[in-house]
């Protein structure tokens, strides 16, 4: 098992350097595809092997410490050269904290294992490498077309693959690291990769977005180090498993709160949401991998990991607040967006808010909801980003208005996009199962619940509007032909859809083998939930039945609608008899008998949701909540609140 | 024999629900007409309409409205059947969401101005009443201790005493679902509609019949939800009669309003009241 873990961290490092050294585009393509498949296979093997913990040779530890300083110095140089004052200021703070920690406090090396592989880590590893592998398969064809479209022949394509593969290695390290310093190194490595990938296009907008992402995630790094130092001062160790089993006292919760704040910046939860919205200038594979399924999930992962530290305390309750508020706020913020990638970004943040709210609720049911949301949202969001990327590559457009009627031009991509959208909204898909569990877990807590409920309403509006727009077609029948598309793009999207569609109805069957171990690994006991497998009560067992019934209904509806006779049936839309069709476009006879095509735009509610006041309100309110939670963690400590059980 | 009972319950629900819904709808039209000094259609008019619509030829803009009409009827029927089979209120909530999503997507898929605007308004309606519906279910959970329908039904004292404001909220949702003034801006049963038939414009013939059938199932679903407030035979009848009378009154007194008004009026008082009720119980006053 040890060699497997080491390989899954080190192999991407090697593969990244190889892809840098590869001379031609096809050589890089030949490297990316097997690299992706290897990582997928490795993660499957690791999952099958189960939990383990070990410490590599101490030389690795020293190497990592050196590399840590090197990494920070490297980012510092980049920040100085790009004249991003916030970034290099924050980096100096980080370096100061790190040096103070190493030299001033001189923590002894932890006597525990440096690498801990538990059920939560295994699940995230599977998600990261599974989706990562598929995105690596998708990338070469996308990047080639993307560079073509923006008119660059000798673009920085080699840095793209280098950082994508390096990023996967960094994520694997992050997931498995138990030593706080190691975790910090991989954490900042993902920061660097994210920065480099957002800036890929080298345009002014992308550099600005990349620098904003950089300083916000560096702020997270400062929180991380500060939290780690506080926890070391309280517990005397920097190994996570030791920290989590230490009793809370003094500044323990403050340290845990700071670590959670680091997770919040990484997950782009309000008030730290601006960087993710800006990061949408990056190419679609970057959005799909980093900013939907993996890097932002690392923030949620850290907060989930820390559950034993704050369960039942004020901090846990506060984290539920922050997550729930983020959910509602981003739902509202997404309504006026017309750019589909920004809608997806807002939607990602709001689902991450849900996962974090689950972590805050701290019950076994909430933990189960968190796992389901984590896995299925990652699949669905990656699929949606890849579809949007495929559309962008083919048509160059990605706003909602431009997607109208896409079903006629790109039926397969539209179909897959629709499945992705529906999987976020409807039972029996996994995300809805997670939301259902979350609602059950939150039912006792009316205050965060308020935000969750409002957010769900916004979420519904967002996606049904999009789904309906996709399908809109002018009257009559068109010949449906499969759109031409590179095979690697098509296969990766199909694979994600297949995974999403196949796994969702199987959740009750897989529950006790796959979800319950994760509940145990965050220190909760799954009583009362184990009975929700196929042998249990009504709970989750409705899922396969509902899925079957829905599938049958879809088939029946398709059969009925396809059997409609074309002759004498199809007519233009009703406009009081003044309908007219010119060159296949539907419209009506307007003034002076001039043809007016139908033009209806979706509701954007810009008057309410776009205004600067509204957005400033979101940032201010979420910052206020965060500050209150941090302050409360320090002052109230582990006492809990009077009305908490 | 055990395996048959859920099947029997499901079949009964499947057949009885549209009958109940149709009767409520017919009674509503008759009484509204009487209040307005007209004779009004016979009480079984909705059924005559259904039969007539099923018999018509299908006219369609593109194949999506027919497709989604079938799915909408399926979703609405599924909600009622799932209720009859017992189980979880939250599951019912999500299935209900599914249903509305289908109706709206079918209407959006037709390139028709009236249909698309109506669908947009229907979506706003859904956004307005969903939080309220969810909070009502949360109130049930709080008062009865579980989301399970069987548990809620067997609560010791009638829930309407503990969560009266939840009844008020559900009443608002019922007004919206029944497409009664002031919330009939998406589509209405009356002919005077500035969007022609709004969301139902491009559903026609047998597919409009399916949409109507789905609507009847939805009415029945809400009747079942109201019956949870007082699960005895007389109690449920009292609640339903009171709700029906109130909806009749409101419909005939209030004009059609805009979605902006509806958003303000339903969310601000509606949500506040129900949360106040929940907080009342939660903090044990």
Is the confidence at residue A645, as pLDDT, over 50?
Answer: no
Is the confidence at residue B162, as pLDDT, over 80?
Answer: no
Tell me the per-residue pLDDT of B130-146, one tens digit each, with 9 for 90 and over: 888 988 888 888 888 78
Cβ-nearest to A460 among B64, B87, B130 = B130
Cβ-nearest to B87 among A446, A465, A538 = A538
**Average pLDDT taken over every residue of chain A:** 83
Q: Which of A328-332, A423-427, B158-162 comes out lowest in average pLDDT? A: B158-162
Q: Which of A33-47, A517-531, A610-624 comes out lowest in average pLDDT? A: A517-531
Tell me the per-residue pLDDT of A410-449, one tens digit each, with 9 for 90 and over: 888 888 998 999 888 888 888 888 888 888 888 777 778 8
Distances in Å between the Cα of A164 and the Cα atoms of A10, A290, A425 are: 14, 9, 30
Comparing alpha-carbon positions, the chain A residue that sits nearest to B106 is: A468
User: Do A162 and A213 form a contact (C-beta atoms < 8 A)?
Assistant: no
DSSP state of A153: S
More confident residue, A358 or A640: A358
Q: What is the mean pLDDT of residues B143-169?
A: 80
Tell me the per-residue pLDDT of B213-254, one tens digit each, with 9 for 90 and over: 999 999 999 999 998 888 888 888 888 898 999 988 888 888
Reference A328, options A462, A162, A140; nearest CA is A462
What DSSP string describes B190-240? SS--TTTTGGGTT--THHHHHHHHHHHHHHHHHHHHHHTTS-SHHHHHHHH
Reference B220, options B240, B204, B206, B202; nearest CA is B240
**Average pLDDT taken over every residue of chain B:** 85
More confident residue, A579 or B179: B179
Is the confidence at residue B52, as pLDDT, over 90?
Answer: yes
* Contact assignment for B202 to A573 by CB distance below 8 Å: yes
Cβ-nearest to B91 among A436, A450, A461 = A436
DSSP state of B251: H
Is the confidence at residue B192, as pLDDT, over 70?
Answer: no
* Contact assignment for B101 to A464 by CB distance below 8 Å: yes
What pLDDT is attached to residue A537?
41
What pLDDT is attached to residue A192?
92
Q: Which of A248-252, A478-482, A518-522, A572-576 comes out lowest in average pLDDT? A: A478-482
CA distance A537 to chain B (A): 9
Is the confidence at residue A531, as pLDDT, over 60?
Answer: no
More confident residue, A82 or A236: A82
What pLDDT is attached to residue A27?
78
User: Do A151 and A256 form a contact (C-beta atoms < 8 A)?
Assistant: no
CA distance A472 to chain B (A): 4
Strand segments (E) across A537-601: 579-582, 585-589, 595-597
What pLDDT is attached to residue B232?
81
What pLDDT is attached to residue B21?
92
* Contact assignment for A477 to B112 by CB distance below 8 Å: no
* Contact assignment for A425 to B108 by CB distance below 8 Å: no
Comparing alpha-carbon positions, the chain B residue that sits nearest to A460 is: B127
Best residue of A464, A548, A589 to probe chain B, by most B CBs closer than 10 Å: A464
Q: Which residues on A lie below 8 Å from B119 (Cβ)?
A: 468
Which residues, 6+ apart, have CB-to-CB distance to A326 below 8 Å?
A269, A270, A273, A349, A350, A352, A353, A356, A622
Reference A184, options A327, A67, A57; nearest CA is A67
* Contact assignment for A475 to B62 by CB distance below 8 Å: yes
CB pairs under 8 A between A and B: 192
Comparing alpha-carbon positions, the chain B residue that sits nearest to A558 is: B67
Q: Which residues on A lie below 8 Å from B101 (Cβ)?
A: 422, 425-426, 460, 464, 467
Cβ-nearest to A573 among B115, B127, B271 = B115
Q: What is the mean pLDDT of residues A13-28?
A: 80
| Residues B163, B147: Cα–Cα separation, whole Å | 15
Q: What is the pTM of this model?
A: 0.90
What pLDDT is attached to residue A480?
67
Q: Which of A39-43, A390-394, A565-569, B271-275 comes out lowest in average pLDDT? A: A565-569
Q: What is the mean pLDDT of residues A599-624?
A: 78
Which residues lie across from A191 on neighbouring strands? none
CA distance B248 to chain A (A): 28
Q: Which of A64-78, A81-95, A392-406, A408-422 comes out lowest in average pLDDT? A: A392-406
What pLDDT is attached to residue A154?
58
What DSSP string describes A335-366? TT--BHHHHHHHHHHHHHHHHHHHHHH-SHHH
Is the confidence at residue A536, as pLDDT, over 50?
Answer: no
Q: Which of A156-170, A303-317, A342-356, A606-620 comes out lowest in average pLDDT? A: A606-620
More confident residue, A464 or A603: A464
Q: Which residues on B lie below 8 Å from A564 (Cβ)?
A: 58, 60, 63, 66
Q: Which of A265-274, A362-371, A533-542 comes out lowest in average pLDDT? A: A533-542
């Amino acid at each position: 098992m040890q060699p497997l873990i080491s390989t899954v961290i080190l192999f991407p490092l090697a593969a990244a350097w190889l892809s840098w050294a590869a001379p031609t585009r096809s050589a890089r393509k030949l490297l990316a595809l097997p690299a992706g498949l290897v990582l997928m296979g490795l993660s499957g093997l690791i999952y099958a092997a189960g939990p383990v913990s070990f410490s590599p040779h101490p030389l690795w530890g020293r190497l990592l410490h050196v590399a840590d300083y090197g990494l920070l110095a490297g980012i510092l140089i980049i920040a100085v050269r790009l004249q991003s004052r916030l970034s290099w200021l924050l980096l100096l703070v980080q370096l100061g904290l790190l040096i103070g920690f190493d030299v001033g406090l001189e923590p002894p090396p932890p006597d525990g294992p440096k690498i801990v592989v538990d059920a939560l880590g295994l699940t995230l590893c599977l998600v990261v490498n599974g989706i990562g592998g598929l995105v690596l398969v998708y990338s070469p064809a996308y990047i080639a077309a993307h560079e073509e479209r923006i008119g660059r022949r000798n673009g920085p394509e080699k840095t793209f693959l280098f950082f994508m593969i390096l990023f996967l290695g960094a994520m694997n390290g992050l997931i498995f690291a138990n030593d706080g310093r190691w975790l910090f190194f991989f954490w900042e490595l993902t920061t660097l990769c994210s920065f480099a990938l957002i800036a890929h296009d080298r345009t002014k907008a992308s550099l600005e977005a990349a620098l904003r992402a950089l300083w916000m995630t560096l702020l997270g790094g400062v929180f991380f180090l500060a939290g780690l130092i506080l926890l070391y001062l309280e517990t005397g160790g920097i190994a996570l498993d030791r920290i989590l089993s230490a009793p809370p006292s003094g500044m323990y919760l403050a340290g845990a709160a700071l670590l959670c704040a680091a997770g919040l910046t990484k997950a782009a939860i309000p008030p730290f949401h601006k960087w993710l919205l800006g990061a949408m200038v990056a190419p679609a594979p970057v959005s799909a991998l980093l900013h939907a399924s993996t890097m932002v999930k690392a923030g949620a992962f850290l907060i989930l990991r820390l559950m034993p530290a704050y369960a039942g305390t004020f901090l846990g309750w506060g984290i539920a607040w922050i997550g729930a508020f983020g959910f509602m706020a981003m739902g509202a913020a997404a309504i006026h967006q017309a750019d589909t990638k920004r809608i997806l970004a807002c939607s990602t943040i709001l689902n991450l808010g849900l996962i974090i709210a689950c972590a805050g609720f701290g019950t076994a049911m909430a933990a189960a909801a968190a796992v389901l949301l984590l896995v299925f949202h990652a699949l669905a969001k990656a699929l949606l980003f890849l579809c949007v990327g495929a559309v962008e590559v083919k048509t160059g457009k990605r706003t909602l208005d431009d997607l109208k009627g896409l079903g006629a031009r790109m039926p397969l991509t539209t179909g897959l996009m629709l499945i992705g959208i529906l999987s976020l909204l409807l039972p029996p898909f996994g995300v809805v199962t997670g939301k259902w569990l979350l609602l059950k877990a939150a039912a006792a807590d009316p205050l965060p619940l308020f935000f969750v409920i409002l957010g769900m309403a916004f979420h519904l509006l967002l996606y049904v509007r999009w789904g309906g727009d996709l399908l809109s077609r002018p009257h009559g029948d068109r010949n449906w032909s499969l759109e031409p598309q590179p095979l690697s793009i098509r296969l990766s999207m199909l694979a994600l859809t297949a995974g999403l569609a196949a796994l969702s109805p199987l959740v009750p069957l897989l529950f006790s083998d796959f979800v319950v171990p994760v509940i145990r690994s965050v220190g909760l006991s799954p009583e009362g939930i184990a009975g929700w497998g196929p042998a249990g009560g009504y709970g989750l067992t409705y899922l396969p039945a509902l899925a079957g019934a829905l599938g049958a209904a879809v088939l029946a509806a398709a059969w009925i609608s396809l059997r409609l006779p074309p002759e004498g049936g199809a007519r233009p839309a009703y406009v009081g008899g003044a309908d007219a069709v010119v060159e296949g476009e539907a419209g009506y006879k307007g003034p002076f008998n001039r043809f007016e095509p139908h033009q209806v735009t979706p509701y954007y509610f810009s008057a309410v949701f776009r205004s600067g006041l509204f957005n400033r309100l979101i940032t201010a309110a979420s910052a206020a909540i965060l500050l209150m939670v941090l302050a409360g963690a320090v002052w109230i400590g582990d006492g809990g609140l009077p009305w908490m059980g | 024999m055990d395996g048959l009972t859920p099947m029997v319950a499901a079949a009964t629900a499947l057949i009885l629900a549209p009958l109940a819904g149709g009767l409520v709808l017919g009674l509503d039209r008759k009484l509204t007409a009487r209040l307005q000094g007209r004779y009004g259609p016979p009480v079984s008019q909705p059924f005559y309409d259904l039969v007539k619509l099923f018999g018509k030829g299908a006219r369609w803009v593109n194949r999506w409205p027919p497709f989604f009409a079938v799915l909408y009827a399926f979703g609405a029927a599924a909600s009622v059947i799932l209720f009859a089979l017992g189980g979880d209120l939250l599951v019912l909530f999500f299935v209900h969401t599914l249903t509305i999503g289908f109706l709206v997507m079918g209407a959006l898929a037709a390139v028709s101005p009236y249909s698309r605007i109506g669908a947009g308004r229907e979506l706003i309606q859904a956004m307005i009443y969903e939080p309220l519906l969810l909070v009502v279910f949360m109130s049930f959970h709080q008062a009865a201790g579980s989301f399970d329908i069987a548990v809620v039904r067997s609560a010791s004292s009638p829930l309407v005493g503990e969560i009266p404001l939840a009844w008020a909220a559900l009443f608002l949702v019922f007004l919206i679902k029944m497409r009664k003034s002031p919330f009939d801006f998406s589509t209405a049963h009356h002919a005077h509609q500035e969007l022609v038939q709004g969301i139902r414009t491009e559903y026609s013939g047998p597919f409009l019949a399916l949409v109507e059938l789905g609507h009847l199932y939805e009415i029945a679903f809400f009747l079942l939800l109201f019956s949870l407030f007082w699960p005895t035979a007389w109690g449920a009848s009292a609640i339903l009669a009171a709700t029906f009378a109130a909806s009749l009154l409101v419909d005939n007194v209030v004009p059609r309003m805009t979605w902006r008004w509806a958003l303000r009026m339903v969310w601000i008082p509606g949500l506040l009241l129900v949360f106040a009720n929940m907080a009342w119980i939660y903090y044990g006053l």
